[in-house]
Chain A
Amino acid sequence: MSIEAASDTETAAATERPPLTERVDRRRIVLGLVGSLVFLAVWQAAAMAVGRTYLLPSPLAVAVAFGGELAKTETLALPLVGDVTGSKLLVKLLQSLMHYLPGLLIGTVLGIALGVAMGWSQTVEDLFTPVTRVLRPIPPLAWIAFAIVWIGIGHGGATFIVSIGAFWINFYNAYSGVEGVPQDLTEVAASLGVHDDWTMIRKVVIPSATPELMTGIRTSIGQCWMIVVAAELFGAPGVGYQIINASQNLDTEVSVVYMLVISLVFLASDTLFRRVERRVLAWRN
């Protein structure tokens, strides 16, 4: 199959979305499979050569450990709902989500709010530019000190750290998105009867900046998983904590299991969000 044919299939997939079997390109699937198998084979060979699971667990050992973590049960006390018992792997994931999701949500909403305000209003921009310039380069995890003394290390502290990460990513994207709103559009809107800031923001500024807002949200969906793992290294419960905990017990294969869990959850959420993004930004194609 030629390269031209391959790109044709891609274009068709983007516009018409025929059935799955026609959408995916067989050549790419075959090559992807070959690459993956080679990777697994090299990994297995290397693990056998090393010979010690705690130094380099084989893919097989990881698969066994995956099954083991899935089969173990654990009980989690949830506020309002009460005790929930389920697979250990899923319980750990749920624990991570308990600070990942609120942190992402809070940081995104506040970041977009400040970004839009600063991008739109000269006064707000002049007020906050110095402060944001100084605070923005600080890595989210550096705020751990305040997380500990204010909230304590747990879901609350981890939520705080994650929200700071989501805040700056969304702040920056919203800010530059709003700065980039074409002047023509606000002038046309003014000539068509939009005379107050709030209507202008709602009807022109936000829709016009939507591509940048979407990029910000998608970037923070990924970045916040990194922050989750980092925050959990300090003791917040969840998938990241399992990585460090298993490693301290020299159960390296279990660490790899939870590394893979993060990867899978990220892939799933990113795919889902891309689909949302494509629908929201349908006007661009």
Chain B
Amino acid sequence: MAELNGEDAADPSGADQNTDDRNAADHTVAVDGVTKVFEQQGGDSVEALADVSFTVDEGEFVCIVGPSGCGKTTLFRIIAGLEAATGGEVRLDGEPVTGPAMDRGMVFQEYGLFPWRTVLENVAFGLEQQDMDEQARRERAHEMIDLVGLDGFADAYPNELSGGMKQRVGIARALAVDPALLLMDEPFGSVDAQTRGMLHGELLDIWSETRKTVLFVTHDVEEAVTLADRVVVLSGGPGTVREVVDIDLDRPRERTDAAFADYQERILELIHES
């Protein structure tokens, strides 16, 4: 598991001396010319991502949408540090990403909760890897559990929770270590439509309360228009950035709104054109 080696190679002298680095550090996330080629058995290779570039600023909520097979998940995994890019790089606050680390909190579609740990113990997992005494850990974990509206379920096991509740635990766990970026891969893909609508509202509340930078991967255009400040539209085969669409709508957004429908239609067109 060599790729688990964290990012302790940060160069303390870099950011302040070099003007290029200063510019890079202005963005929370900079995806810079990322390509990914998968080598297949028999010598063939498949290009999953070709020269993908975009940036996310601090406190922004950005969605990545695209058809299935466009490399969304590959891009998510490269930003998370779970996979290496073939070319280009991802920078977080100016520092190149070399592996998974606490500065990027991950939320998965299938929750990824530790089933043997209670809600409280799940949320406290990341805090255990930090220098923090148990009392402070418990307080912080309870704070996060309250934030996602799960007070009263601290001692429940994941098996006792509904899908929507599980994903709230996932969000609380990711936020507990105070990451610079919240990375979410189709987080509400496994919950029913009604719960999804509710979770959208809650996620936006949490976002405005914590002012976290959020990068949210989805195939659902309506979800992207509901949530995002900006939508990065990927086209497939190989995945490239088709366009970045600013969503200039006040929140909370109404699906029945004419402007909402216009955005939705425009993004769908961009996806289908490719």
Contact = CB atoms under 8 A, between A and B. Distances in A.
Given A195-B6, A284-B159, A190 B116 contact: no
Contact of B116 (A186, A207, A285): A207
A283 B129 contact: no
Interface of A: 182, 184-197, 199-200, 203-204, 207-208, 210, 282-285
A281 B106 CA distance: 27
B197 interface: no
A204 B121 CA distance: 13
Nearest to A206: B116
Contact of B112 (A185, A195, A196, A285): A185
Interface residues of B, number: 34
Contacts, number: 81
Contacts of B114: 185, 188, 204, 207-208
Interface stretch (B48-56, B95-103, B201-209): B95-103
Given A184-B112, A283-B159, A191 B106 contact: yes
B232 interface: no
B130 interface: yes
A200 B129 CA distance: 11
Most buried by B among A188, A208, A284: A188
B137 interface: no
Given A192-B126, A193-B129, A194-B129, A187 B106 contact: yes
Contacts of A190: 4, 82, 99-101
B159 A188 contact: no
B100 A187 contact: yes
B100 A184 contact: no
A210 B116 contact: yes
B174 to A, nearest CB: 8
Interface in B1-18: 1, 4-6
B157 interface: yes
A189 B99 CA distance: 12
B142 interface: no
B145 to A, nearest CB: 16
B104 interface: yes
A195 B108 CA distance: 20
